[in-house]
Structure 1
């Protein structure tokens, strides 16, 4: 009798139909993606360039001024028009004020004295390096800020919908038609398969040869005693190995990176803005613990920095994937204001504070003693030695295992810093004679004694 392996035909036809459907779908996607939004930037009619003005504003003015709210200084939206209409001041007065505000105040100018008194008698920082054209550019920006070139997701979706509508056929209708065609193909192939089976059986064709019966593999395995013995020994050794590895990881949280109630980017603060670690963690120099900085330390800067301007080149693909946009960071600053009780509009504290429940990352057991000041101030150990490249971390994680073996290896390999360290001079002299070496490690000075870390 003749064997008919018609099932392969079914698989091939089904695969071809899937390929055709996928090709049609991605061709439609490529057509939709071909349209890209465009942006347009216009310059100010008075001769100033609003785009350049935005850059100058962010570099020189944004620390104390905003366009739409009062900060350390007044809001600057439409400042040229407001000064001309309300105070009768022309652009020459603005030039003089920006370049030498203390001089304008000392001249007895009425409006300058009014501003000086209103803002706690703190004169604005003079900017003599700004040219008249630079000031014109800034005024153009305050009069009509340029639109953000990046399209929002909603705008992008609207553009895609408009493109689909302009073609005359909606995307949903095309996808529905493709799904219907695919369903009909599957139904047709099923009916063809069933018909071929009936024809083959009617003509006495053997569709599939019955497999020769064999002994089950598990029965053959049980009859071979040597193989059973080797397998049992292998499983016992493997189980012991994995059990030992698991137990040795108990209490080791390397890579632990919890989500904090307020997102704090060390990459932006310590990396992009070069804020020193010990500016926030000041107690690391004089105390056993590094300490969690209080919110008033954050407000030293964020009293004036109320929004995140971001990288001039735009957020990276990694940041976009994680949702770390400029608006995201600005929202985290608002959480800080809410916790510390800061009123942005009135530039004052309300007294209504909320504690921030930070999640601890590095946590040594109670029987282990570690002193930050001894390592940071006396030994001169850099923060990155234990905490890793925090200036590159968006979310801080536990970089080192913090196990006893890790600490002991550091004591064995790290030379004690002697330069400018009078505390160790006498000890260094005596121990150098004892060990006959020029460089001393922490281990040579008792860094491996149990009582140093356990008490």
Structure 2
């Protein structure tokens, strides 16, 4: 018994040391992370508030200017160092008037930027302009330095210990605990054997398959159940052939419906304009994209998420520029284009007739009815099964909209009188006839 007591005492001491080591490693990691956290620095320019200047810049200047790249107008970071403040007051409030006055510098700037007229901002006070100049005078933020560590992990250059080392140490502690438990079990078994204590052995029983094979009733019932279950799953598998619900392919250019249709509220039919007048809903041409992205070369910092960084989104916009042949540095088309091989998501069999304009324009069906909440989708996917049964159920349950819809008024009045109802479903108006959807 003395040996057992010593062994238990040693186990408690070892467990305490292991727990202390684990907590110390976690605590050290948190302290290192807190010590390495970047300290926000606010650059201030005499006479101006950079924070207010950023708001004014985004509201008045961002449509044509960027801080660190040429857009419709020149880049504006450090513009306060290039020109006198008094001259900038005049230029920003009314550049056209300054040019007409014969000002040599104004005419030079006008010539250098392709004679593109600048919008006048007489509503901005001198203090407002000072705030904008303070914002444009902020230094370019430096990217945090990172250091690659073995195993593909990346850690901050100032960190004293990596996450991989901490996890490895914790794994080693857990492994040692498992070994100790195994040793304790062996020691206890030896002590029990030395003291004449027998460990109860498991009683042997008749094998289950032999007991089952001797019962003919169970065999028959089990066979029937097996055949029924097999038929059920086989039928379910066969019925899923050609059904691509949930299909979510990766496109050559990442397009976020969440950002465009959700955050920015762009109407689906602005890009898919053919859905209103045609059987097919068109894939938007890249020229439609350039209506906005001619002046939007990067996303806002608030757009970035844990899965997708700002650099990722900006890189996808660069892919768009490469495809259409747009040089954002010169703000001109190069003529060198390359096709984008989009991957089709929604596809019906060739023997099925479906008319987008009939549903979108005539029936007033919302795009989300079939395509799901696209405004929430980062990557577009097939939301509905698009099966025959799914379409038929929709026709049976959906009342025809006749308010301000002269297309259905006459037939609706006649059939409502025939069926003795006020509201007709698409099925009651012939929506279940085979020839409606099949040639």
TM-score range, shorter chain: 0.7 to 0.9
Cα deviation, residue 256, structure 1: 1.4
- 1:261-410 matches, within 5 Å, as 261-311=252-302, 315=304, 319-320=305-306, 322=307, 324-410=308-394
Find the counterpart in structure 2 of residue 236 from structure 1. 227
**Equivalence for 2:156:** 158
Mark the CA change 1:19 to 1:384 in structure 2 (over 3 Å): closer, same or farther: farther
Give TM-score scaled by structure 1 length.
0.82
Q: Could you say if the C-alpha distance between residues 290 and 75 of structure 1 is closer, same or farther in structure 2, counting changes exceeding 3 Å?
A: same
Do structure 1's residue 260 and structure 2's residue 251 form an aligned pair? yes
Q: What's the CA shift for 1:307?
A: 0.9
Question: Which residue in the other structure is 1:421 paired with?
Answer: 405
Confirm or deny: 8 A CA contact 1:411 1:447 kept in the other structure: yes
- Deviation digits for residues 45-81 of structure 1 (CA, Å, limit 9, x no counterpart): 4222223323332332222112233221012121121
CA contact (8 A) 1:32 1:160 kept: no
Q: CA deviation at 1:204?
A: 7.6
User: How far did 1:186 drift?
Assistant: 6.6
| In the alignment, structure 1 residue 138 sits paired with structure 2 residue 135 | no
Deviation at 1:29, TM superposition (A): 1.5
- Contact 2:43-2:138 within 8 A present in 1 as well: no
Moved more, 397-406 or 423-432: 423-432
Shift of 1:128: 3.2
Partner of 2:90: 96
The whole-number CA distance in structure 2 between the counterparts of 1:117 and 1:230 is: 92
Judged with a 3 Å threshold, the aligned counterparts in structure 2 of structure 1 residues 253 and 135 are, in CA distance, closer, same or farther, namely same
Are the aligned partners of 2:15 and 2:177 in contact in 1 as well (CA < 8 Å)?
no
Contact 1:310 1:326 in 2 (8 A): yes
Q: Give 1:219 deviation, angstroms.
A: 1.0
Residue 31 of structure 1 is matched in structure 2 by 28
Deviates more, 1:134-143 or 1:414-423: 414-423
CA deviation map 1:363-382 (0-9, x unaligned): 11111111111111111111
Mapped partners of 2:283, 2:11: distance in 1: 62
Change in 2 beyond 3 A, CA 1:17/1:356? farther
For 1:213-232, what aligned pairs fall within 5 Å after superposition?
213-232=204-223
Structure 2 Cα separation of the partners of residues 330 and 175 of structure 1: 34
Q: Which 5+ residue runs of structure 1 have no aligned equivalent?
A: 84-89, 165-169
In the TM superposition, what are the counterparts of 1:33-52 in structure 2 within 5 Å?
33-34=30-31, 35-36=34-35, 37-52=37-52
Do the aligned partners of residues 229 and 367 (structure 1) sit closer, same or farther apart at CA in structure 2, a change above 3 Å counting? same
Task: Identify if the C-alpha distance between structure 1 residues 207 and 91 changes in structure 2 by more than 3 Å, giving closer, same or farther.
Answer: same
Q: CA deviation at 1:448?
A: 1.2
Asked whether the 8 Å contact 2:96–2:117 carries over to 1, the reply is yes
Distance (whole Å) between structure 1 residues aligned to residue 400 and residue 146 of structure 2: 56
Give the total of aligned pairs: 429
Q: Distance in 2 between matches of 1:198 and 1:299?
A: 80
